[in-house]
Structures are given as C-alpha cells and as structure tokens.
Structure 1
Amino acid sequence: MDEKGRFPDRSDRRTFLAGSATLGVAGLAGCLGLFGGDDDGDDDGSDLTELGYGRQGQELGGTSMAEMPDLEGELSVYSGRGEFLVGNLLSYIEDLYDDFSFSPQPRYGNSTELANTIVTEGDGTSADVFFSVDAGSLGMLADEGRTRTLSDDVLEMVGEEFRTDGWIGTSGRARSIPYNTNVLSEDDLPDSIMEYPDGVDAQLGWAPGYASCQAFVTAMRILEGEDATRQWLESVVDAGIATYGNELAVCEAVADGDLDAGFTNHYYIQRVKDGREDAPIATTFTQGDAGAIFNVAGAAVIDEADDPELAENFIRHLLSTEAQDYFAVRTFEYPLVEGVPPVGELPSIEDLDVPNMDLTRLSDLEPTVDMMRDVGVQF
C-alpha cells in the first residue's frame, strides 16, 4: 500500500495477494480497515478494504486469486446478488487484470426474473455467467438445459451437497432462531421447529412476506408434509406472532427487546451485532428440520457463453480465499470453501444439523404462499 493508501499495479497486487494469507488480524486489519467499511456500495472497489485475510490471527484455507488463471477478455454477468453487496468484489476482480472487463457492466436484478430472462432470450442471450442469490433459480436454469457442465476441479472446490454438474454454490445462509439474551437462554428454546410456537413461552416475530421465510415454509411442506405445515401455520396465526417487513427488522426488534425471539436467516443477526457490538442478541438453530435449512448463493456458466473457459475461471475467483472471506466479512454468510470460517460465534457448516433435501425445490413458492394466505397469514 502506498502513502496515499492505494494498492500498486496489477503485477504487484497479485504478489500482495500471494503473500497476504500469512498475515494476522492486527497487521492486515490495520492496513485495510476491513472491519470498518460501510455497506452502502459507495466504495470504488479498487482495493481490498472489504476482503479480510487472517481473521482471528489465523491463516485461511482455499486458493488465492494469485494462484488462479488470469482473466482475459470480456464477460457478461447477470447477477441476482445485489450490487450493494457484491459490487465491490466484482470491481476488485475486474481491476485486478489489465485485459479483463465486464462488458456490459454486470446486470443486477431479481434472481428468478434474471433466470427467466435468460430462458426467454434463448440462443440470443448475452449472459455468460449467472450469479444467483439462491439454488432454486440455478436449478431452474439447469433443468432448462441452459447451463454448461463445470470442470471437476471447480466442482471439487466445495462440498457435493452445495453443487450439481451445472452450477456451484459460492456462499451459504442458514435458517436460525435469533433470541434476546436478557430474556431467554439457548436452553429455553426447542431444537425442533415443529415445537414452535406452542413449545416456547416467548413473544415471537417473523417476516412472512420475505422470500427466505417463504422458502423455509416451503422446506417444511417438503419435509413434514402439507397437513403438518398447515397446522403449524395455523398455530402461528393463533399465537399472534408479530409480523415484520423483513428479517433484519425482526432481528433489530429482538435486540431492542420488542421480541424475545424470531425466525430469520443467520446473517441478519450478525449484521445487528456488527452495528451494535453489545446488542443482547444471540443465535441458536433447530436440528435436522425445515428450521435448519441451509440455502446457497451460487453461479453457473450459461450454455451460450462466448468464452466458457473465461466464464468458468471467473467462477473460480468467486471461490477464491479472498472472495470467500469477503462473503464472510461483508455479507456475513457462510463461506463454502474449506478452511475459511464464518464471522461471529457460529458453528461450522459441519456442526450444523442440516436436513437432507434438494435445495432447488425451495423455488416452489406459489403453493406455500397460497397456503399461508389460506390460513390467514398477513403479509
């Protein structure tokens, strides 16, 4: 880093990447300010401010970008991941190589809508890579025959439960129970989602209009059956669980003491704690059921990609140590590459009791929404 806080040119920057994996948190956090960035998308993405190496004073696993093939050429990415979350990462990758660019600039939007656009565009699609927020949209494209088979060495970068031949997960999110530590302990909360809400003496909250919540109820339909899910939803309505517009609001209400516990993805809890270090909120998980479902964001090479090798090498970069640590530090998701831990006091993926199911089935939301409305859930 020079005296103005900028990184050197491309060749020197790659040398920095190769050597930085051995740095501890004190050295690199001080240099990069990796724990202080605002999540407002205003950074120009030209440095590693949000890409944290050496957290907790430890080396990270995986493969550095410096060890990956150079990117050369033009690439079109359709991204269902928001620009405010991943724009800095994509800009950093683009700036790393003199002869590589996104052309046109990444197209951001809703994952389902972008997947349908690729199908509709057919052979004329300009998309080379689809970067999705969930497995359902990736599975739909693969089922339509619109993804290319990935190389074995790429697929082997993550566990087999997080990929198929036609797409690969890049980061993950676990369903969880945020709870207020001033009111409850972990022992007060059931480890089965089906024991909620009747099995816990607490004011609960959820965000039933949120896609992640609807995917969780979809998982319940798949794992527990239609009748059991309907009964669970009816008990939720009868209990008068508080409704919020999104899951971050649920976690903020838990931390504020307006709720005792709730149903959310795990990373919203970490976002609250990131902004309020002493917030009385903690995370617990149910065991082996819909309440513990683990979904993934991921990427695929489109069948009509102009340069499939370039597209696949870009996906390798999303699975690099730097990118995996970015997902942990910036988005608070679970990295999927072995040796890169999540941020916060969270169990490893291996220690989570995740139900065994095809994640692509979580995209079947319409019957779920119909059931929720039928029993009186207010969105």
Structure 2
Amino acid sequence: MTDPTGDRRRFLAAVGAAGAAGLAGCSGFGGLDGSDAGTDAAANASGSTAGFTEFRGSGPLAEGRGEFGGTRIADLPDLSGELTVYLGGGEGGLYRDLVSILQEIYPDFRVNLRESGTADAANTIIGEGEATPADVFWSVDAGSLAAVANEGLTATLPAAVVDPVPQTFHPDDEWVGVAGRARSIPYNTDALSAEGVPESVMTIPDRPDLAGSMGWAPTYGAFQAFVTAMRILEGEGTTREWLSAMVEAGVTEYSNEFLVSNAVADGEIDAGFANHYYALRVQASRPDAPVDLAFTSGDAGGLINAAGAAVLAPTDAQQLANTFVRHLLSAEAQEFFATRTYAYPMVEGIPPVGGLPSIDELNPPDIDLGRLSNLQPTLELMREVGVL
C-alpha cells in the first residue's frame, strides 16, 4: 500500500500550490471545459501519427510529462466504419470528448454514442438481449460490465486487447478495465495528522476521536460498490455491524462524494469516504483547502474499481469494436484518462498525476471485480440497517 517514501498521504500537498488553473484540462472535474480536446487533432485527420498533445490535459499537473511508453495509436490498425457504443456514465462528458478526438483522427470512423447511467445502460443491454444494436458497452463501473457479461452478452476479448492490463482488471476477458479509481479517505489536515487516519477502514467505528466527524454518501454508486466489496470480503454480519456502528457514531450523510470531500475541506467533518479524484476536484477550485488523502490497506476501503469496456457478442463489427477498445488502452488515451479525469492508467508506462501512489504501491483487497455486480443484497442490507 505504501509508496517508496513510506508516506501514504503526500500527493495533495504537491497539488495545492498549483491553484485552480493548475488543475485545468478536466471537464466535469473542477468545472473545466476540456476545450483543447481537439486542438491538434485536425493535423492528424489523415490518419497520421497522433501525438500526446491533443489527448493530454493542460495545467501544471500535465506539465513535464513528455512522451511515454505503451502502445501508441500509430501502432494500431486504423479505425474505419461505424460503431454503436452504449456509454454508462462518462465522467461529465469527458469520455465523449475522447470519442470526438478519435473521430477527428480517423475521418472514416463514426460512433453512435448512447449515454445513460451505468445501471440503466446495463439493464438496457440485458433487456435487448441478442437484439441489442450496441457493439460496445463502455461503463465507468466494473459491476455493470460484469452484469452484462453474466448474461452471456459479451464476447471474449483477444489477447492483443487484454494483455497490457493487469489480470485483476480483465478477470474473465469478457471486459477490460481502461481507467481505475481508488477508494480513499479524504481528511482535513487541520483536524487530523497523517498518522491519525486509520490504516484499516474496519477500525474506524472504534475510534472515539472520529465519532461524529466522518461523512459518507450511501446513495452513491461508488459507496455501494465499496459496501458490496466489504460484504464479500468480511461477510454480511460483519458488514451489518460496521454500518450500524458508523450510524451510531454519528456519521454525516451527503448526496455524493464530491460533497463529502468538500465538507472535509470546509471542516464540517474531519474525514470521509470517497473515490480518490474528488479531492483533486476540491483542490481545483480551492488550492489552499486543508484536504489530503489516505489509502487503507488490504480491505474494502482500499478497493480499486475500474471503468472498462466490453465488446458485445451479437455485434457484426467485432474486429472494429476490438480495435476501438485497443485505442482506449493506447498510451495517448491512457494519458487522457490520467490528466483529464485523474484516473489511474491501466497500462504500464503511464504514471498517475500529482504524485499519486501507483497501483503497485497501493494494497487493494484481493477481489474479483465482477462480483461487484451482485448489488441487490447490499442494498437490502443497507435498507435493513437504515442507511438507505
């Protein structure tokens, strides 16, 4: 879990001085519009080599990142033809921006993008079954991808697609992760020291100093995936006890995890539960905010979930769909995810931004992400405890 310096909570200190402008280039995160998304793409419209410039976010987080390894777009087959892509989520329009860049690079390539929530997109595909017009399901949540795969509606991805990605993020080769997000504990640095944040999420209810000072967003999908992971890892009884103990300790409820992170920065609460990138969003608008991150070790609090893509079995454009997914894993697209959505890259050679510890330096639990699709028992448990 720890990075080479042994400091789990160092990265936001380096980010804070950058200011709001320092986190530019990420629409949907910090209110930025990503207007440079296609600046140089026109120069590549003939299908010539695509560089990093049109993919990379702007501002100090992206400065000095240079050229990286990995498979470059120039090394991939051209995209030519038409795909229907069901997009679940999309990070505030950023994924749409990436599609636009690819369409500018390849003038003979067009994507019919149908956007909705992750569960809605998965349920639509399942309802359509073999008659679905979708060629690709691209979702911000591994559980929704697994739900479609469990219905036998996804094709097995070839080795050329999945091999660059760690096995955890393509457990059965029915889908593959394209961008990662880590669970974290944002904490107020005026209220807590780095050492004051528990290294195990399971011990938080037992900390009297944190009673009444924690926040969560139980209606938020990422939090429900975290509780699902806890239920799988610890069992239903232990998870029920943890949820009940948190309620008894006076945890404060918010509607989403950006608000949790913002409340930490405001000093409304001392710490909370949120995906890692929300603290960056806070820093984008409030560079002096007293907020930093901790990552727990080996438990549900250290879960690394993934946005990913699956090629649907009924498609008549399987080769083109596979090539599209390979483009999402190109070095350029991975740099897009890293510098515009602040996600964890899925391929070796592309570092995360802002001094984030790499995935290898974290200690996530050993869990099949596909099992996160079994959400209903989690919702029932949360209702039983009175969390929902």
TM interval, shorter chain, is 0.7 to 0.9
> What is the number of equivalent residue pairs in this alignment?
344
Partner of 2:160: 153
Partner of 2:187: 179
Partner of 2:113: 106
Contact 1:175 1:264 in 2 (8 A): yes
CA apart distance, 1:194: 0.9
Partner of 1:89: 98
Please tell me whether residue 46 in structure 1 is matched to residue 38 in structure 2.
Answer: yes
RMSD after superposition: 2.0
Contact 1:34 1:50 in 2 (8 A): no
Partner of 2:367: 357
Which amino acid in 1 is paired with 2:24?
A: F
Moved more, 133-142 or 45-54: 45-54
Q: Distance in 2 between matches of 1:42 and 1:161?
A: 31
Contact 2:37 2:97 in 1 (8 A): yes
Partner of 1:222: 232
Which amino acid in 2 is paired with 1:46?
A: G
Partner of 2:84: 76
CA apart distance, 1:58: 4.5
CA 1:189–1:274 in 2, change beyond 3 Å: closer, same or farther? Answer: same
CA apart distance, 1:35: 3.4
Q: Distance in 2 between matches of 1:200 and 1:348?
A: 32
TM (norm. structure 2) is 0.84
Deviations 1:80-134 (A, max 9, x none): 13261211111101111121111xx300012222122222222321101110111
**Among 103, 122, 129, the residue aligned to 1:115:** 122
Runs (5+) with no aligned partner, structure 1: 1-32
1:1-379 → structure 2 map (5 Å cutoff):
35-36=24-25, 38-39=27-28, 43=35, 45-47=37-39, 51-52=56-57, 55-82=63-90, 84-102=93-111, 105-163=112-170, 164-199=172-207, 201-202=209-210, 203-377=213-387, 379=388
Moved more, 58-67 or 146-155: 58-67
Contact 2:168 2:369 in 1 (8 A): no
Contact 1:178 1:283 in 2 (8 A): yes
Contact 1:254 1:281 in 2 (8 A): yes
Q: Distance in 2 between matches of 1:221 and 1:128?
A: 33
Moved more, 283-292 or 361-370: 361-370
3-state SS of paired residue (2:365): coil
CA apart distance, 1:157: 1.4
Q: Distance in 2 between matches of 1:79 and 1:246?
A: 21
Q: Distance in 1 between matches of 2:205 and 2:69?
A: 40
3-state SS of paired residue (1:335): coil
- Give aligned-pair identity as a percent: 52
Moved more, 135-144 or 43-52: 43-52
Higher relative contact order (CA 8 A, sep 6+): 2
Which amino acid in 2 is paired with 1:191?
A: E
3-state SS of paired residue (1:371): helix
TM (norm. structure 1) is 0.86
Contact 2:26 2:34 in 1 (8 A): no
